[in-house]
Amino acid sequence: MRFSALKKYIDLKLILLLAGFYALFDLVFIARYAYMRANFPREVMEPWFDFLVYNILIDFLVVVTYMTFIAISTKRFLYKNYSWVKIIIIHTVFSILIGLIIRLIFDLFSIISGQIPLAEYQLAESLHRFMFVIHLNFLIYFAMVFIIYTYYYVKQVKEAEKQRGMLETQLVNTRMKMLSSQLQPHFLFNTLNSIAVLADVDKEKAKDTIADLSDFLREILYSRDDNEITLEKELRTLEYYL
């Protein structure tokens, strides 16, 4: 897939939201590590530097990268209108594969950095570590998927409300244009001038004329919603006009 085609699936706000979520998770992890070092120093042998670099910084970069991949994939699923069963199956497989890939990436980094000699590396032990935290990977993955779908749902609702507001505004404008096209300006001018003259001669008659004009305009405006107009309504409108 070309980058230009991929851009429509990238949502920077969503990626920042996911990164913020995992940063919060890391803060909790750091607090837990600090508590363990303070209360159970024998069980925590890893220095602070190694913990922050390998378990926090590198882990954060790797996870944000695969979260971006998840966000892009999820948006593609939405565009393709996959069924929920298919989406759940795909995400379940992804959660396992991505967790395994991340485990192997950390193993490779440990070998390159000299933490684990290549001759002593055992794939079975790495798989054992992966299986030990597979439930945690699963929960984190689907928590992020939940955030992604919630984000797109809220976004669609807001866009729908915005679109509805625009349509309502267009409808009002269209009604007003139709009304103005039906009512000739000279008709309103003549009627208003007649009312002005009539107000000096017969105030009650002027009030009745204003009421008739109001009813006439109301009939013209609201009758535009009807495809068919009854004879009774036509006669009533004509009566107001006369």
Asked if residue 71 belongs to a domain, the reply is yes
Name the residue with tokens 């405006």.
Answer: 221
What is the model's pTM?
Answer: 0.58
Span 28-33, average pLDDT:
89
Task: Say if residue 157 is in the same domain as residue 189.
Answer: no
Among 80, 69, 91, 76, smallest CA distance to 9 is for 76
Q: Among the three residues 165, 192, 220, which one is the final residue of a domain in this structure?
A: 165
Structural domains in the chain (count):
2
Asked if residue 113 belongs to a domain, the reply is yes
Under DSSP, is residue 193 helix (H, G, I), strand (E, B) or coil?
A: helix
51-82 pLDDT per residue, tens: 888 778 888 888 888 888 888 888 877 777 77
Asked if residue 121 belongs to a domain, the reply is yes
Asked if residue 225 belongs to a domain, the reply is yes
Which pLDDT value is given to residue 233? Answer: 57
Task: Say if residue 95 is in the same domain as residue 200.
Answer: no
Task: Say if residue 83 is in the same domain as residue 15.
Answer: yes
Task: Say if residue 140 is in the same domain as residue 203.
Answer: no
Asked if residue 178 belongs to a domain, the reply is no
Q: Among the three residues 110, 132, 165, which one is the final residue of a domain in this structure?
A: 165
DSSP classification of residue 44: -
φ and ψ at residue 230, rounded to 5 degrees: -70, 160
Task: Say if residue 96 is in the same domain as residue 15.
Answer: yes
Domain ranges, residue 219: 184-241
In whole angstroms, give the CA distance from residue 72 to residue 84: 17
Percent of the chain with pLDDT over 90: 1
Give yes or no for residue 101 having a pLDDT over 70: yes
User: Under a CB-based contact definition with an 8 Å cutoff, are residues 106 and 116 in contact?
Assistant: no
Distances (CA, A) of 152 to 52, 75, 145: 33, 8, 11
Give yes or no for residue 183 having a pLDDT over 70: no
Task: Say if residue 192 is in the same domain as residue 150.
Answer: no
Among 178, 167, 141, 142, smallest CA distance to 66 is for 141
Angle between helices 134-182 and 84-112 (to 10 degrees): 130
Task: Say if residue 37 is in the same domain as residue 125.
Answer: yes
